[in-house]
Amino acid sequence: MSCSYLLITCEHGGNRIPLEYSDLFRSSKALLETHRGWDPGALMMARDLARELTAPLVVSTVSRLLIDLNRSIGHKDLYSEATRAAPAGLRQGIVKRYYLPYRTRAEGLVRAAVADGRRVIHISSHSFTPELHGEVRNADIGLLYDPVRPGEADLAKRWQAAFSANAPALKVRRNYPYAGKADGLTNFFRQCFALDAYIGIELEINQKHVGEGRRAGRRWTELRGAVISALQIALNDIN
Residues 16, 26: Cα–Cα separation, whole Å: 14
223 exposed, middle or buried (CB, 10 Å; 0-12, 13-18, 19+)? Answer: buried
pLDDT tens-digit profile of 113-150? 999 999 999 999 999 999 999 999 999 999 999 999 99
The beta strands (E) that lie in 16-107 are given as 57-59
Q: If pLDDT is split at 50, 70 and 90, which confidence band does 212 have?
A: low
7 exposed, middle or buried (CB, 10 Å; 0-12, 13-18, 19+)? Answer: buried
Pairing outcome for strands 198-206 and 141-144: antiparallel
**Amino acid at site 225:** G
> Which residue, among 157, 63, 178, 57, has the nearest Cα to 109 in the 3D structure?
57
Average pLDDT over residues 21-32: 92
Provide the β-strand partners of residue 62: 16
User: Among the listed ranges 87-91, 115-119, 122-126, 215-219, which one has the minimum average pLDDT value?
Assistant: 215-219
- Would you tell me the crossing angle of helices 214-238 and 42-53 to the nearest 10 degrees? 50
Residue 1: per-residue pLDDT: 46
Q: Check if the beta carbon of residue 7 is closer than 8 Å to that of residue 123.
A: yes
Q: Check if the beta carbon of residue 137 is closer than 8 Å to that of residue 154.
A: no
Q: Which domain holds residue 161?
A: 2-238
191 exposed, middle or buried (CB, 10 Å; 0-12, 13-18, 19+)? Answer: exposed
Cα 173 to chain centroid, rounded: 16
> Which residue, among 223, 226, 183, has the nearest Cα to 202 in the 3D structure?
183
Provide the β-strand partners of residue 143: 174, 203
**Amino acid at site 221:** T
We report the CATH number of the domain holding residue 163 as 3.40.630.40
pLDDT tens-digit profile of 178-202? 999 999 999 999 999 999 999 999 9
Number of domains the chain is built from: 1
Residues 87, 98: Cα–Cα separation, whole Å: 17
Residue 27: per-residue pLDDT: 87
Average pLDDT over residues 53-76: 98
